[in-house]
Structure 1
Amino acid sequence: MRVFWLMLCFCLFCGAVTAQPGPLIGFCWVSNPLSDSTLFEEGFRTAHYLGCQIEHRQYNWNEMEKEKGVYNLNMVDQWYTACTTYNIIPSLAVCPLNSNSVYRNLPEDLEGNSFDDPEVIERLKQFTDTLVGQYPDIKYISFGNEINYYLRAHWDEVFPYCTMCGEMYNYVKKTYPHLRVLVIFGFTGMEKREEELIPLFMPACDIIGISSYHASISVESVSPRLTAEEMRQRLEYCITLCGEKRVAVVETSAFSYPDPVYQATYVHVFFEVIDTYQADMEFACWFSTYDWSPGMLTMVDPFLEQFNSSGLLQPDGTPKLSYYAWMDEMSQRGLVSQPASEKALAAILAALLVSYLLKKGYK
Structure 2
Amino acid sequence: MKTLQILLTLLLFSCCNDSVSPSEQSPPKLLVGLSLQQYKNSSFGIDGYIDGLDHAVQNGINMFGMSPEWNVLEPSPNTYSLQDNLTNPLTLLDQNKTKLDSYIIVLKMIDTNIKLVPDDLANLDFDDPEMINRFSLLLDKIFTEVPSIERVTHVLIGNEIDGYLSTNPDQIQQFKTFYLAAIQQIHALNPRVKVGTIITFNAAKNNPILFDTFKTEGDFICYTYYPTDEQNSTPWQMRPPSDIKDDMDWMVQNTGGKPIAFTEIGYTSSTDNSSSEQQQSDFVQKMFSSMKPYINSKNIEFVYYHGMYDYPQGFCNQYAQQQGVDPIHICNFMNHLGLNNWETGLPKLAWFTFIDELRSINE
State the TM-score, normalizing by the size of structure 1.
Answer: 0.78
Q: Aligned residue for 1:351?
A: none
Tell me the distance in 2 between the aligned counterparts of 1:119 and 1:222.
Answer: 39
Alpha carbons of 1:298 and 1:76: their partners in 2 closer, same or farther (altered >3 Å)?
Answer: farther
Identity between Structure 1 and Structure 2 (%): 20
**C-alpha distance in 1, partners of 2:282/2:40?**
25
1:213 matched to 2:226? The reply is yes
Q: Which has the larger radius of gyration?
A: 1
Match status 1:108 vs 2:119: yes
Residue 184 of structure 2 is aligned to residue 170 of structure 1? yes
Q: 1:136 to 1:166 in 2, by over 3 A?
A: same
Change (3 A) 1:320 1:50: same
1:89 matched to 2:97: no
- For 1:309, the equivalent position in structure 2 comes to 336
**Partner SS, residue 318 of structure 1:** coil
In the alignment, the residues of structure 1 paired with residue 66 and residue 249 of structure 2 have an alpha-carbon distance, to the nearest angstrom, of 23
Task: Identify the residue that residue 269 of structure 1 maps to in structure 2.
Answer: 286
Q: Is the 8 A contact 2:160 2:200 kept in 1?
A: yes
Q: Which residue of 2 aligns with 1:6?
A: none
User: 1:51 aligned to 2:60?
Assistant: yes
How many residues are matched?
Answer: 314
1:325-344 equivalent positions in 2, closer than 5 A: 325-334=353-362
> Among 246, 254, 262, which residue is 1:241 paired with?
254
Cα offsets for 1:109-167 (capped at 9, x unmatched): 21111111122112111111222230331111011111111111111111110011111
Q: 1:223: how far off?
A: 6.7
Answer yes or no: is 1:150 the counterpart of 2:184: no
Alignment of 1:283-302 (within 5 A): 283-301=302-320
Alpha-carbon distance in 2 for matches of 1:56, 1:179 = 14
Structure 2: any 5+ residue segments left out of the alignment?
A: 1-14, 16-24, 322-326
Partner AA of 2:177 in structure 1: T
Tell me, yes or no, if the aligned pair for 2:203 and 2:211 is still in contact at 8 Å. Answer: no
| Letter of the 1:80 counterpart | L
Q: Aligned partners of 2:54 and 2:66: how far apart in 1?
A: 17
Shift of 1:63: 1.7
Q: Quick check: 1:63–1:72 contact (8 Å CA) kept in 2?
A: yes
Q: Please provide the CA RMSD for this pair.
A: 2.8
Contact 1:98 1:105 in 2 (8 A): yes
User: C-alpha separation between the residues in 2 aligned to 1:19 and 1:140?
Assistant: 19
**Alignment partners' CA distance in 1, 2:302 and 2:257:** 16
Per mean C-alpha deviation after superposition, the further-off stretch among 76-85 and 41-50 is 76-85
The secondary structure found in structure 2 opposite 1:165 is helix
Could you tell me which residue of structure 1 aligns to residue 7 of structure 2? Answer: none
Q: Which one-letter code corresponds to 2:313 in the other structure? A: P
**Mapped pair 1:75 → 2:85:** yes
Specify which of 22, 28, 34 is matched with residue 29 of structure 2: 22
Does the Cα contact within 8 Å between 1:30 and 1:288 map onto a contact in 2?
yes
Question: Could you tell me whether the CA contact under 8 Å between 1:20 and 1:333 is conserved in 2?
Answer: no
Amino acid at match of 1:160: Q
Does the 8 A contact of 1:56 with 1:285 survive in 2? no
Q: Secondary structure at the match of 1:94?
A: strand
Q: Would the aligned equivalents of 2:229 and 2:239 in 1 still touch at CA under 8 Å? A: no
Q: Which residue of structure 1 aligns with residue 299 of structure 2?
A: 280
Kept in 2, the 8 Å contact 1:207–1:246? The answer is yes
1:42 to 51, 61, 64: 51
Q: Which moved more, 1:305-314 or 1:294-303?
A: 294-303
Q: Which runs of 5+ in 1 are unaligned?
A: 1-15, 336-363
Distance 2:93 2:154 in 1: 13
Higher relative contact order (CA 8 A, sep 6+): 1
